Structure 1
Amino acid sequence: MEGDSAKANLSLGKRGTRGVPNQFYRNAPWRHLHKRQLEKQPLCEHCLQKKILTVATVGNHIKPIRFGGEPLDENNVMSLCKSCHARKSAIERHMTHWTG
């Protein structure tokens, strides 16, 4: 029984603070989607809403995976600068459900 549990944990991978397996962000499908997103929209989308031009460095899930967001859906990814990504992530860390 204990071996079965260990196998299940291995298949899920070690989970990070976002509830997503740490390996997800290192795998080729996410890296390619991330790269395509930054090529498609090289400016931070949050800064643009404030009429500020800032180079985006992060492809970020609009609806977090832990709240049911599709991990590899290009319509669920936005371009953010490091500062906006940190701010959005800090807010989401304290959320218990998705408010959209």
Structure 2
Amino acid sequence: MREQPLCVHCARSGRVQLATVVDHADGNAMNNERSNLQPLCASCHASKTAREDGGFGNPRR
């Protein structure tokens, strides 16, 4: 986040928001390759998580 402090999802929508979470872009928490990590704000991270696996701690549907 030091290198890219803004939320990449917000930036795509023309918004400027500080990132607070480093997200695994492919959803695989075991894939810690630098290219798989992206900075997100808490809101975008929560939305992405809910969209991809039904929310924090819930099994994928």
User: TM-score over 0.5 for the alignment?
Assistant: yes
What's 2:57 paired with? none
Query: Which one has the bigger strand percentage?
Result: 2
Q: Does 1:58 align with 2:18?
A: no
More helix by share: 1
Higher relative contact order (CA 8 A, sep 6+): 2
Aligned pairs, how many?
Answer: 56
State the partner residue of 2:49.
89
What TM-score, normalized to structure 1? 0.52
Listed one character per residue, the Cα deviations across residues 12-57 of structure 1 (whole Å, up to 9, x for unaligned) are xxxxxxxxxxxxxxxxxxxxxxxxxx11110000000011000000
> What TM-score comes out, normalization by structure 2 length?
0.82
**Structure 1 residues without counterparts, runs of 5 or longer:** 1-37
Q: Which runs of 5+ in 2 are unaligned?
A: 55-59
Structural RMSD (CA): 1.5
Q: Percent identity?
A: 36
Task: After the TM superposition, list the runs of 4 or more consecutive aligned residues in structure 1 that deviate by more than 6 angstroms.
Answer: none
